[in-house]
Structure formats: structure tokens, C-alpha cells
Structure 1
């Protein structure tokens, strides 16, 4: 298509672009490019477009052509935002693969991938960045007006600012203000993760000369207390390279005020340095460490198998020194000028790894996760794009970063369920997506775990992945002793005290008497999971979900853990009027409460979702535990991930049966992983730890396998079950959740869909069935499960047929009001 440019007096070709919009729509849309913007167009750049009557969005160019759309007249784009593309070809290929593999829309992948600052829309909320001093002299007239308006109104939408300036698009202006750190995106205001800092004292360099030091003593002759601090400094200087402020105050026996006087006189200088929150034995010397014999062999095998297969599972028990092997592999990538992505399941719990790797690799490291605000994430994005960061540490979202020269991907603790995104779409698994990302870049990938997922271990067994085993704990630390105690036996003998066996209580007492720390694990939060009327059997339930309410003593209310609904505790049964309301079951809150009654002098804290919601609460809790201010830490599965303290010698698992009896095909696998990981928290230094597992079924094979540390036996028994009943890793699962507010309509619609699916896929289709929680947020749920064998059938073709069936089904008038969620590889 040709168009005449009056200004230049020449005929030019009209350019059309296909763009990805950050919306759950099934297609890309074509827009027309004004002649004056033609030279600015490139794949991967952002453009401002109008979609619908009045909505304005930031879209990504994914295709450039000269062909107009056949079915509609293309609108003109409003603006081009970028001088250089912000999304590269590898990312666009990854997005398309995720859309196809996880059966979701390309716009949903874009929405998940880009930081909010890079995808502004009409209703995006803007606020001033209060942490920055704004120099208004550097602002243009229009930027000044925006800042002025934001000072009067704490929060404005993009459309509000558009009306204020009287122009259709304000995205370039907002981009400029964002780059100057003047504004931030309100929906992304999250408390920045603040690393722990410690004050260190150094002598002013001007006093390094002997003569100057003599003069210094003369100056302080009339201030004897200040002189004592100076003498204490010289004493400590001979013993240690760095002198902490707290150490200097303690050794000198003075006060902070006396030290401040020396700082004010500029005799001393205070330096605040970032220090680690956790203490990993295998990471104590990363600047100059030597691999032991087992590590050298493991590293060599890993390198050989990476060259041969590209993907290697590094299977090494907790504290065996896997991280040091990762460091050697990263060093090789740096020598080759290639980038490394290091994935971690829980950034907040693995601060030590981040800080120590930063020490080792310096400014070449970037960190990317949801604890950072949007300005910081956008900055990391740009630095990765420009190649300034040679290594990125991050949670699952860091797979979306614009790597240009990726050479190595490390997925640490690859078995962790937190690598799986559940809601919203795309419901991807970061480990599997990382493998495809590495394939795109022709990069190598290492999966590390002490308790690998059955999928990864199976792939290693069938030689699809390489397998390297690292036995023995680093530094010769002994594995903890594990003792199983029967709750049933102790209940019969009446030696149980509350929810604690006599064996566990004796071990806690012994640990406390030795000034050692204890961790207790209970995989349920709250105080009491169920309230029950013993007269008529009534249980308070959520008004929005089919789930009983959990009593939380801290708020004195009943909580729903699915939708957040709360109500006051009932003192009389609303069904029969009886006051005989009993509490059934127990969560971390009740464990903490009852422990305090038994050990009145012990300092007890709780680590779960409820206790770590508030600002900096998680960091404060870890600091207090590390510094010995807490004797007993009670927690949910959070305590199994990354916690590593030298003084923890006793671990108690309150109720192993609650995990083992969960109705899920992964229950045994996850129970083994959880019990083994929790046990691994004990005795990670010179002292051998002890683990007490309380259970009714003390002979359960999973408990026996944990005691023997026999992962391979667990794998063999589980894989046989999975083969017999058609579950992963031998079969692929696709779960379809059908949701509707009317239960009777839902049953008819879900049955109709299952019938259509069976006509195509036969007995691979199971359901529909109501899941364990059959109503959430007033939507009833029916689940259909599709089991697809891995051999002899094209899973991709099945997905294409399934997607078309669902599109056709969703478009039927009779199915109005229904929602369908597709989850490929539900974990």
C-alpha cells in the first residue's frame, strides 16, 4: 500500500504492525503506522494504541508488514515510546511457546512478563516518588503541571493526567518522569526488601601515621573515656580486620554517646555495610575456597554431561556444597562473556546466597523479584537488556528478563512448588520454562536439589537429562539423628502434654538447657482449623467459599484462607443455640500459645503467612532468631526453605500424618521432600542435630524412607503407582476448572463440556467432579482432568484441538456466565 508524503513530496509504502496487547484476547491486532513514524518502527518496541472506544494501552510490536488487515480497518498508532526495542526475539519466541504450551493468551504472558512501568494503560495509577528530592527546575512545563497535580492529589490515573493536559496521550511524558525517578506506579508500591546493615568503625586515614597518632593521644588526654574507646579500637585492630560498632562499644565498656563524640570530631568514620541475615556453612568462604574431592568430581561430571545433554540434575543432599559448584560454573560463563540466570524459589529466605554471590561477583549481579518496587525492576530490565548484568539472581518472574547472551541457567531447589504460578494465567512452571529458555539461547541448564521432583529424576533416569550425585555434607558435618514417636502410644500412656509427646518436650528442654535453638514445624496456620458444635455438629463456614473458617487468636476472629472473609467468633451455635462449641485441630498459632504455657521462660516466635505480613516483619524475625533472641521458632513450610542457623540442634515435626493423608497424587512425594528438607535444618555445623517426628502411623513407608534418607526407594515406589494410575511423569495432565455462580447450571455446562471432550479424547477424560473446595468467592467449581500419555501421541495436537473446543464452547449463548481456567501440568 502506497501513500503520498506532502512534506517530502515522495510516495512511501504504508507500514502495518501487529501488536501484542496486555489483555486476555486470543489474537494480535494490526495497526497502521503514520508516515512520520515509519523510521521509528522496530519489532520489540512499545507503541501507544487505542483499543476499543476509549481505552489506550502500551503494546509490543511483534510483526511488521505492508499488508492491511482483511476484516477491519486498521487504526493509526498514537506514538512510538522507545528509541531501542525493550523486548528481544528470544523473549517473543518464549512468550509464544508459553502461550501454546500453557494454553493461554499471548497478552496474558505479556502482562506477566513486563514490569508495570513498561505497560502503562489508561487506568494505571500514578503517584509521586516520596523517597526522591524533586528538582523542579529540570522539568518541562507539562512535567511540572503533572508533578504539581500529584502534590495536590496523592494518586492520579493516566486518563486523569490526559484530561489535565488536554492531550490524548501522555505516555512519553510519564516515561520521562519515570526515568527521572519522579513518579512510581501505585499498584506496584511494595516495601523494598532492605538488606541487613551493620555499622563498622574505621580510624580516619589521616591518623595512620605514627606521629599523627601521638598527636591524637595528646588531643584526647582531657577526655579519658574517649581515650579508652581509642585504645579499645587499637586492641581490636590487632585481632580482626573489621571492627563492628557494637564490638567497639562492648570491649571499651563505653556508651554510644562517647563513640558519637569521636565520630563528630572525625577521629573515627562510620561505614554501614550490608551483611548476611542467614549463615550457610557451605558459603563461609566464597572469595578463596577450594572444592573438596567429591565436589571436584561432581563439577567435572557436570561439565561433561552439560556438553553432552545440555540439562543436568545435580542431586546432592542438604549442605553438600552445591552452591560452590554453581559458582565455578558461573565463573566459566563470565570468562566466555556470557550471562547466567540463577533461579531461587524464595528470594526472602535466601538472602545469604544473594549477598555472598554479590561479594564474589561484585557489580555484575542483578537481583529481580517482587520485593522490589517497579522502578527497580524496570532498571534491572534495562541493565540486562544492555548487557550490564552478567548474572541475575531471581524468583520465577526473572525468566522473562531480556537476556541477549544467556549461557547458563541454574534452578536451585528445583523441586519447590513455589516455581509454579497458579493464578492468574499464564499458569507456568518456572523450571520447565527455564529449560525452554535455555534451549532458545543454546545455553546449559543445571537443576539442583537434595530431594528432586519425580519429573526431573525420571528424566535423568531415562537419560534425557544428565545426572550427577553429590554425597556427604560439606565439612564432614554429620546428618541429624531422626526419631519417630507414636502419638497414639503416648496418648494411651497419658504422657502427651497438649500436642507434644514426652520425647519431644524432653528434647526441647535439653536443647534450651544447652542454650541451643529449636524449630517446630506444623503445616497449618491459624489457631484452630475447625469450630464444632458438639450438640448438632454445626461448623462455621465462609459465606463466599465452601470451606470451614479458621480461628485466629491474634485477631479473635474466624478467617477464610481462600477469599479473606472474616467474622466474629461464635459463642453460641446459630443452628441450635447450644453453647457447647469446641475447637478441633491446631495450627501454628495454637502451638506457639501452648508452648509458652509449658516453657514460660522461653522466647518463642512464629513464622507463617500471618506473622510475616507486616512491614519488615520477616527480616526482623530472622535477625532476632540469628542473634539468639528467640529460643523456639514455630512455623509452617516457610521454615523448611533456606533457613540455616548454626545453633539449631533440635527439630520437631508436630504432625506428620496431616501431610501424608492429604488427598493428592503428589502427597507422598511432597511429604518426603518436606520432611527431608525440615530435617536438614538441624545440626548444620559441628554439632549433630536431632529430629523428632510425631505421627500416628509411625511405620508409614515415607517416614521410614526419610529416616534412611532413601530417596531412590521413594522414587521407585512412587513411579510404579504413577505408571499404574496414569499420572506424571509418565502422563501429562491438563486440568480444566469450569466456574459458574449457579450450581445447577454449572453441573449441566460442565457435563456437556466433558461429553464433547470424551468424543475427541475418549477415556483420557476424567470428570467433571467437584474439587475438595467446591466454591471459592461465590463461584462453584467443577473440574475436568485430561490425562495424556507421553509416548505415541502428539501433546501439541491434543492442545490445539482442546483449545478450539473450548473457544467454540465458550462462544455458545447457553454457556454465558461461565469461566474456564486451564492449567497445564498442575502441581
Structure 2
């Protein structure tokens, strides 16, 4: 017997272990780690899992089941990936199954799908109710159906009770079948049948078709499309739909030619990806400042594995990236280009495709699952893509020869995955991935995170600075407006100061563009009763409902629950309900009134839910078809527009006042990044910051473009109050549907942890939003000084979590760990 008698399998279940299955004897030499296999789990479920390791140690604790089938001829996950998955699971305190679910596109995971079958041997006699009759009649015709099909035809949310009743009456039976959610895209092509390669046979065919004019014409067009009736062309195939279009023939006409044996119809697999050859241009020459920065990066790479390129907005960082990518491709290496937002991929992709053509692949959630599977397979099989542009999930792709990872806008909190597990930070995980590949990492930003910048100061990362804008363009002129004073003097036009209105008006007169930034979507953050101050809240979350005027509904931005706008106050029945505050939707409405001739577009989650929608907005703004772009943080970074001369930040205080130790850091980054969209070509731009507190130190640092002062202030405060980068944080979230049990479990957990970690434990306490989707939330924070053993700490934490959730009163309590929270 081969020594690889058992396989440890990673299954997509949140259980802290691998599952051992027996390998059938005939597969012992065929199966290797990284392949997908189908295995039974429980009584009726089947899962596709990934083989983690092979061995000959039979488990003693349980009887092993056999692997049912092998899905792959070669591994879909390589050895480096499996090691990376293990690191993610260990570091971020989750299971390998949770990493597997996050890492693989859905199309590579199989699901157990219940199928219901009609029992042809059923002897009618039992009395059926109306819904049972509908289901049985449907099955009698279709023979088999999924649960979802039956839900649809019965118009029930859950048809299982009906199915169970029919099962009891033996009218139907069920089976569990695996559903493969990835289906290759195919097209039908036509080829001349081999026997018609003989000249006489082909001549006879033309003669026979002389009366069938449409068929004859289709045949003639076919020969034109393959390049003529030469023997060298006879093996060529033509897309059936293309032939229909060019010849004007119907499907019936072409099918007649197939039935007569002239054509052979072949179904062939095609890619969903754009792999056609594209025209490319050479790289731009770097100016002397960029050239010096590039040389410094290469010198630093000789000494360090990671380098920070700290370059002001519009300093030409992307051109330096392109040069470095080209070097890696010449060496036969792969490059991963990480971006924090899907919205950025449109412009970056266009720029890189001009240089690298179809060697560029794109990977993010706005692509269909089938497209993501094909990107995965392209990289796995080393076909086209040498460079992948993607968001955080791109770190899981099957690279085998990675040379460089570029992390653009490295400071962005969107690199952090919040829910579900694994709660990884793509920037930090990418550094580990690069180390596994012996690759280099380039972090780029105009506003570095405090942790990253400190790593350059203590010698862990290299540092290259680029403080001049490309072609000598001046940094934007930043002005603040005290909105408290402007409102007191009654000078505000809705939510716009006179200075902002004047500057936007001047830009429009000069044929230039403006960007208005408000980091809140919707029309108004909340409604309020003028009589009793009642505010409508979500019944599932502890948060006020946001008013969206275009759908005339109040919407919860946490769970999606919505209500129609009430006519009267639910507390005092007064009709005096007024909107409070403003979101992007209200800004859009008001700015159209102030500038009725301007073309205005809004870019936020409501208008950019699909890949095409945000691509269309960006492209129309690039082509100057839009005068004023209003948006949330989507527009705050990385986008490069030639004609933007004015940027307005409408409510700087909302960011500054957020109850989080990173609030000042994020506010500085957001304002500096948004302001950087102004004056990027030809002339100096203007940035207007509207605030009730223009003397706030963060706003002063933004106005003076003084990152160093901001960094020193933040660092001193973090050290005083024991926050990163001086301390590591782990957040522990305690959740339960009952508020009392959540409180009791949190108190018990907090006391238990204090017995182990002493003063390092902070809490438990309720977060600012203490209920989401009916889950009551409490948080405990663990502050860990540098030098402590993180693996040992995490082992003790897992033991503490197990102790709490195994307590008789806390069986339904959920405790989640978030390592290095944002």
C-alpha cells in the first residue's frame, strides 16, 4: 500500500481543524496537495475541499470516510499558497476553512445542492393540498427540480415543509448532488467537412446548391471568410454567429448545410477575458527627479525587502511603477499591483495596458465569478498575464514566480477585511507573501500610515521621497472656511460657503471641472421631529436611518433595512419632520439649483454598484462630459483628471470627530488625498475646506502640507496612550441576540482575560454602534507591548474563547477575534 493512504482536507467550514479522509487505492499515485476533491461530510452533505497533506497515519478518534472523486488533473492551489493560507489562519486567528472560502473564487468551490425528484412509481391515493398538488404537477413534468425552483413556483420563502409532506407520502425523493458553479463559456464554430477538400466533390456541392440560393450564398461567404477555396484554408473554423451576420443567413439555412454534410459544427471553449492583442505604446521617459527616485528604490531593494515611496499627489509615482514592472517582466517574473478601491482600476488599467497590452489581468469582485475563475486559471497555467491589478483578494491568486508587489495608496483602510473571517490586512499579508516568494514590496502613497512611516524611521523599510509634482506643477492652494461664522452671518447657500460657490463658478466659466467631497452617501443622515426630537432608527441596528430621496426611503447603511418616509412622527404624531445634515444626494440636488447649466454626476455606492457604472462615470468625467463630480471616498485617491481646478471638502469635522484613535490620521489622509485631485495639469488648483474649527491641528497640517508635523504629533499621542505602532491591538467582539446575555458574557470574558493578561485588557464596552442586524455587540481590547510572544498570546486567547462559549449560559454567544484592527 502506498504511504499516501490518507489525505488531510481543508473544508469550507469554520471548524479549527483539518479532516482526514481515506484515499481509494486506485488514486494513491494520482492525488497531490492542492488538488480539489469531493468528500462526504455529515449525513447528507458533500463538499469540495483542498488536499492539504498526505500521510499514512490513520486517525484514532473517528472512522474515516473515503474521498468520492478528484476534481483536478493538477493542483489549483500551489505549495506557497497553502503555506500562505496557514500563516493567514494562524496570524489572524481564524480557520483554514475560512481562508479557503475567502481565497478561492466561488466558481472553484462546489456546493451541495438538494435536488427533488418525482417518484414515477408513486400510487396516487393520498389526499394532497393545493401547494402539494402544484409541486407534484411541476415535478411530474420536469422530473427533477432544485429547492429554489420549487420555492419560486409555490411563491413560498421555504417550500421544505411541502416537500417533507410529499416525502412522507412517498410521492417524491431527494438526492444531494454537487453543483459546479463555474461553466466555461462556449461558442459554436463551423468547419468544412473533410470530404469536401476534394475539388470535384466541392464542385458538385456548388452545383447541387444552385437552386438553394440562400445556402449557396452562405457557403460563398464562408469561403470568403476563411480566405478562399484553397486547401490550406479548409481546416479553418468560422464563428457560426459571425457567418450568420455576414451572410444574412438564418439558423435554419446553416443547419441545412450541416445536415447535408457540408459543414461540421463544433462547440469550442472561449475565454471571457479580453486577451486579444492590443496596440501598445512605449513607456514615458522619466524626468530627472523620477529617475533619481527609481535609482534610489533599486538601491534600497538591495538592502531591504520593502521600500516606501512617499511621493506627493501628482508626482508621477505611477510612471516609476511602470518602469519597475517592465524590469520584472524582462526577468520572467510576475507582478501584483494592489489597489485599495475597485474605482481606481479603470484608470490604472488603461495606463498600464498602453504599455503592457494583454499581459495585464484584472481581479476584483465587480468581475463576474466566471471571469475571476478564468484569471485564476490563466495565472495557474502561465498563459497571458504577467501583471495582475487587483484589490485585497488578489493576494490569494496562484502566483508561482512573484518578483514584485506594488501596494498603491498603502495607507488605505480598505485593504483591511472586516467581515467575515479571515480579517486580514492585505498590505501586511502581502509583505509575508512577498517574503515567501523572495520578492520585493514597494509601498506608495502621498500620506503614509503612521505604522509604515515609523518602519522607515527604525530601518525596517527603505524610504524614497518625491516631493515635487510632475512638470513642476505647484501644490494646490488650500483655504479654510469657518462655516460656523458663515452660518451666523447667514451667508451660506444651502451647505456651500460663498467662497466655494465663487471658486466653482469661476472654474465652470473657464471650462474647468470641480470635485465636491462628502464622505456620506444618501440625501440626509437622518430625519428629526421638530416637536419632540424623535429620530427614526433601524429596528435591527442601533443606528439612525439615512434618507435617500431618489427612492423616497429611509435606509440602514449597516443591514440594508428600509422604510418608506413616515408622514408623521411615531412618538408625538407631529407632521414636522425635517432632514438633518447632508449626504452626496442632497449636495447633488442643491448644486444643480446653484449651477443649473452645469453637468453634474454623483459617484458613491448608490450610483456605482456595477463595474460598468463607475467606469462610465470616470470616463465621462475624463472626457469633460461632466463639469462637477460629487462623491464619497471613492473619488479621494489615485484618480488623475486633467481639468480639475477646484476641490471642495464640505464637512471636514465629521471625520475629525469620529471616536477612534486613528480619526486624526484618517482625516489628514482623506483631506490631503482629495485635495490632491486639484490642479494636476497645467495650473495650480484650489482646495476649499469647510469646517467649524479651522484651527484644528490636523486641518492646519493639511493646509501647510506638513506630513512630518502630523506624524510627530500622532506618534507622541500613540506612545502616551499605548496604541500602534508601539503596541499591538487585538479586538475581541462578543455578540448575542439578547442584550443581557451579551453583557453577561462580555463581563465574564473580560474578567477571565484580566486573570491572564492583567492591565493589558480594556473593556468590555459597547461600541458606538452597539447593535447590528439584531446582534448586540460588546468589545474587549487587548493591548500588547512589543516583545511579547504573539503565538503564545493567541493560544491563550483561543483557550479563553473556548472556555466562554462552552459555558452553559453562553452556548449561543459568538466571539470574534480581529488582530491588528483598523
The TM-score with structure 1 as length reference comes to 0.80
Aligned to 2:643: 647
Distance 1:95 1:614, change over 3 A: closer
Q: Tell me if 1:362 matches 2:357.
A: yes
> Residue 668 of structure 2 contacts residue 702 of structure 2 at CA under 8 Å; is this kept in 1?
yes
Superposed CA offset, 1:537-578 (max 9, x none): 211111111111111111111111111111122222221222
Is the 8 Å Cα contact of residues 337 and 389 (structure 2) preserved in structure 1?
yes
CA displacement, residues 680-726 of structure 1 (integer Å, 9 cap, x when unaligned): 10111102211111111011111111111111110000010000111
Q: State the match for 1:586 in structure 2.
A: 582
CA distance in 1, matches of 2:565, 2:175: 54
Alignment of 1:513-662 (within 5 A): 513-613=509-609, 616-662=612-658
Q: Give the aligned partner of residue 153 of structure 2.
A: none
Change (3 A) 1:315 1:20: same
Question: Structure 1 residue 644: deviation in Å?
Answer: 2.0
Match of 2:45 among 55, 58, 64: 55
* Cα distance change on mapping 1:817 and 1:376 into 2, 3 Å: same
SS in 2 for 1:121: strand
Q: 2:26 aligns with which of 26, 30, 36?
A: 36
The aligned counterpart of 2:797 is 802
Contact 2:805 2:812 survives alignment (8 Å)? no
- Partner of 1:548, secondary structure, is coil
Kept in 2, the 8 Å contact 1:530–1:550? The answer is: yes
Cα–Cα, structure 1 residues 333 and 582, in superposed 2: closer, same or farther, change >3 Å? same
How far apart are the structure 2 equivalents of 1:181 and 1:714?
56
Corresponding residue SS for 1:123: strand
- Name the structure 2 match of 1:489: 485
Aligned residues of 2:363 and 2:375 also touching (Cα < 8 A): yes
Aligned partner (choices 367, 371, 374) of residue 366 of structure 2: 371
1:114 aligns with 2:104: yes
The within-5 A match list for 1:26-105 is 26-105=16-95
Match of 2:342 among 338, 341, 347: 347
CA distance in 1, matches of 2:174, 2:378: 34
C-alpha distance in 1 between matches for 2:51 and 2:175: 24
Structure 1, unmatched stretches of 5+, are: 3-11, 126-147, 183-263, 265-273, 275-284
Q: How many Å separate the matches in 2 of 1:328 and 1:102?
A: 34
- CA-to-aligned-CA distance 1:603-654 (integer Å, 9 cap, x gap): 2221111122367332332233223232212111111133322111111111
Measured against aligned partners, the alpha-carbon deviations of 1:215-257 in whole angstroms (never above 9, x if no partner) come to xxxxxxxxxxxxxxxxxxxxxxxxxxxxxxxxxxxxxxxxxxx
What is the correspondence of 1:760-775 to structure 2 with a 5 Å cutoff? 760-775=756-771
Match of 1:428 in 2: 424
| Cα distance in 1 between the residues matched to 2:72 and 2:646 | 56
Q: 1:361 to 1:627 in 2, by over 3 A?
A: closer
Per the alignment, in what secondary structure is the counterpart of residue 302 of structure 2?
helix
For residues 249-398 of structure 1, the aligned pairs below 5 Å read: 287-388=282-383, 389-398=385-394
Per-residue deviation at 1:387? 2.4
1:25 aligns with 2:41: no
User: How far 1:106 moved relative to its partner?
Assistant: 0.7
What per-residue deviation string (whole Å, max 9, x for no partner) do you get for residues 327-385 of structure 1?
22222212221111111112332312212212212232222111221222111112212
**1:131 equivalent in structure 2:** none
User: Does the 8 Å CA contact 1:343/1:410 hold for their aligned counterparts?
Assistant: yes
- Which aligned pairs between 1:688-767 and structure 2 lie closer than 5 A? 688-767=684-763
The whole-number CA distance in structure 2 between the counterparts of 1:449 and 1:820 is 35
The 3-state SS of whatever aligns with 1:67 is: coil
C-alpha displacement of 1:727: 0.8
Cα deviation, 1:290-313, whole Å, max 9, x if unaligned, reads 111111211111111112111111
The count of residues paired between Structure 1 and Structure 2 equals: 693
Q: Distance in 1 between matches of 2:709 and 2:302?
A: 30
In structure 2, C-alpha distance between the alignment counterparts of 1:769 and 1:368, rounded to whole Å: 39
Per-residue CA shift, 1:272-301, capped at 9, x if unaligned?
Answer: xx9xxxxxxxxxx96142111111211111
Q: Give the stretch that moved more between structures: 716-725 or 349-358.
A: 349-358
Distance 2:396 2:144 in 1: 34
C-alpha spacing 1:596/1:83, structure 2 compared with 1 (3 Å): same
Give 2:190's aligned residue: none
Q: Is the 8 A contact 2:522 2:584 kept in 1?
A: yes
Residue 569 to residue 363, structure 1, CA distance change in 2 (3 Å): closer
CA contact (8 A) 1:150 1:156 kept: no
Cα separation, 2, equivalents of 1:342 and 1:535: 54
Kindly state the Cα deviation for residue 671 of structure 1 after the two structures are TM-superposed.
0.5
For structure 2, list consecutive stretches of 5 or more residues without a partner in the other structure: 116-140, 151-159, 164-170, 188-247, 249-273, 275-279
Q: Which residue of 2 aligns with 1:221?
A: none
Matched-pair contact (CA < 8 Å) for 1:181–1:375: no
The offset of 1:588, in angstroms, is 1.2
3-state DSSP of counterpart to 2:308:
strand
- Contact residue 45 and residue 176 of structure 2 kept, 8 A: no
Quickly say closer, same or farther: Cα 1:316–1:335, change in 2 above 3 A: same
Change (3 A) 1:415 1:404: same
Please tell me whether residue 178 in structure 1 is matched to residue 183 in structure 2. yes
Cα deviation, 1:150-182, whole Å, max 9, x if unaligned, reads 99989779x99xx999987667xx59x824659
Tell me by how many angstroms 1:13 deviates: 5.6
Aligned partners of 2:143, 2:514: CA distance in 1, in Å? 50
* CA–CA distance in structure 1, aligned partners of residues 410 and 142 of structure 2: 48
CA distance in 2, matches of 1:62, 1:825: 27
The answer to whether residue 430 in structure 2 is matched with residue 438 in structure 1 is: no
Determine the C-alpha separation between the residues in 1 that align with 2:361 and 2:597.
44
Q: Secondary structure at the match of 1:691?
A: strand
Change beyond 3 A, Cα 1:77–1:614: closer
8 A contact 2:283–2:355 mirrored in 1? no
Aligned-pair CA distance for 1:489: 2.1
Distance 1:377 1:156 in 2: 27
Report the CA distance shift for 1:740/1:555 in structure 2 as closer, same or farther (over 3 A). same
CA contact (8 A) 1:731 1:789 kept: yes
- Residue 258 of structure 1 corresponds to which residue in structure 2? none
Using the alignment, how far apart are the partners of 1:69 and 1:434 within structure 2? 35
Q: How far apart, in 2, do the equivalents of 1:409 and 1:617 lie? A: 28
Output the aligned Cα RMSD: 2.8
Deviates more, 1:115-124 or 1:757-766: 115-124
SS in 1 for 2:351: helix
- Separation in 1 of the partners of 2:24 and 2:573? 73
Deviation, 1:430, is: 0.5
SS at 1:678 equivalent: helix
Describe the SS at the equivalent of 2:659. coil
Structure 1: how far apart are the matches of 2:748 and 2:771? 20
